[in-house]
Each structure stands twice: as structure tokens, then as C-alpha cells.
Amino acid sequence: MINYLKGTLEYADEGSLIIEVNGVGYKLAVPLSAMEKLPPLGGELKIYTYLQVKEDELCLYGFLSKEEQSVFEKLITVSGIGPKGAINILSVLSPMDIYMAIVSADIKLLSSVSGIGKKTAQRIVLELKDKMGNLPVMDLNELQTVSLENNGLVEDALSALMALGYKRAEALQAVRQVYTEGMELEAVIKASLKKLSTI
């Protein structure tokens, strides 16, 4: 199995890229969230991979971190979640988002991903809750911040942002970046809206 590739980025567009390694160009499907983190074309890139073997084709999936690779490999063990579905989830949610959503049974966050309904989200939690372990690298400060989604004020802020048309996943990302303990609800909402306008 190919665990990772290290080479030159030759092409990148809309969730796929081509990396040249020793004269061979490998095409990979990647989460949309990876696109903004790629080096410029011609730059060197190390990307972790998962190879899906089908009867009529080989599909290579790529990840910029071992955390993404690890979470992807766990997601595809869930019945009804194939590699494309797992890539779709990682396009919207970070590995830490997914980890915390599963261990805290946050069905709302998981089902905020397009194509993931409530039943599928419940199945993800049910089948992976005891299998997540620890991500390869976990920032305890980030972990503490993510756990704020169980905070009543944070939930109120998320509800307000969702009422304005934002998806829960993007609202949570904004609130996490602006929230500090002791903030008033109105301040959290205003700061989050400002952050969302720049995303």
C-alpha cells in the first residue's frame, strides 16, 4: 500500500491534484479544505494517501496530515460511508471537529455536512465512538476550545448564526476563533459575523 507520496505539485483544482514523483504523475482526490493549504505549482509536497482498489479502476485519495488520513480510514469503515463520502466530510470539518463530534455525539454538526443525514450521522457516532482513540497529534488548547460547543452561550450563538443562513459547521468554526470566556452573547455573534465575512 502507498502510505504517502513526496514530489512536485503539477496540478490542483476542485478537490483533485497531480503530484509528480520520479517522473510519474499521480492523480489524487483530496478534501476541498486542502486546496488553500497547497504550495504553489512546482513546489514540493508530501501527501499521505489511501488507495482504493476497484474491479475496473484504482483511486488514490490524498491528505495533508496523518490526522486526516487516520480519520478518513476510520470513516470509511462505517456502513454507507465510502471514500467519496469521507472526503466530503473532511472537506467541511477538520479532523478535530470530526473527532469531537463523534466522542460528544454531536449529530447536528455531522449532519450539517451536505449528503450526511441524521441517520448517517448517528451511524457514524455509533460505529466509531469506541474506535476513535486519540488522533496522532492533539493540541490540548484546541481540544479545550472545541469542547465549548457544549457551552450554552456558544450554542445560542450558533443558533443565531444558523438562523441567518450559515451552516452549523462554518458557524462553529467562526465562533471557535473569536470566543473567549466571559464574552457576552451579542459580542460573540458580532465577532463571528465579522469573521464569517472574511472566510
- Write out pLDDT tens, residues 133-175: 655 444 444 444 445 545 678 888 888 988 888 877 778 778 8
Please, which contacts does 107-115 make with residues 24 or more away whose CB atoms are closer than 8 Å?
A: 108/168, 109/149, 109/168, 109/169, 109/172, 112/167, 112/168, 112/169, 113/88, 113/89, 113/169, 114/88, 115/85, 115/88
> For 7-31, how does the pLDDT look when each residue is reduced to its tens digit (9 = 90+)?
999 999 888 999 999 999 999 999 9
Q: Could you tell me which residues come within 8 angstroms of residue 198 by beta carbon, excluding any fewer than 6 positions away?
A: none
**Alpha-carbon gap, residue 150 to 156, rounded angstroms:** 10
User: CATH fold of 140-196, please?
Assistant: Helicase, Ruva Protein; domain 3 (1.10.8)
Multiple choice CATH, 4-63, 1.10.940.10, 3.30.450.20, 3.40.718.10, 2.40.50.140: 2.40.50.140
Superfamily covering domain 66-128 = 5' to 3' exonuclease, C-terminal subdomain (1.10.150.20)
pLDDT at 99 over 60: yes
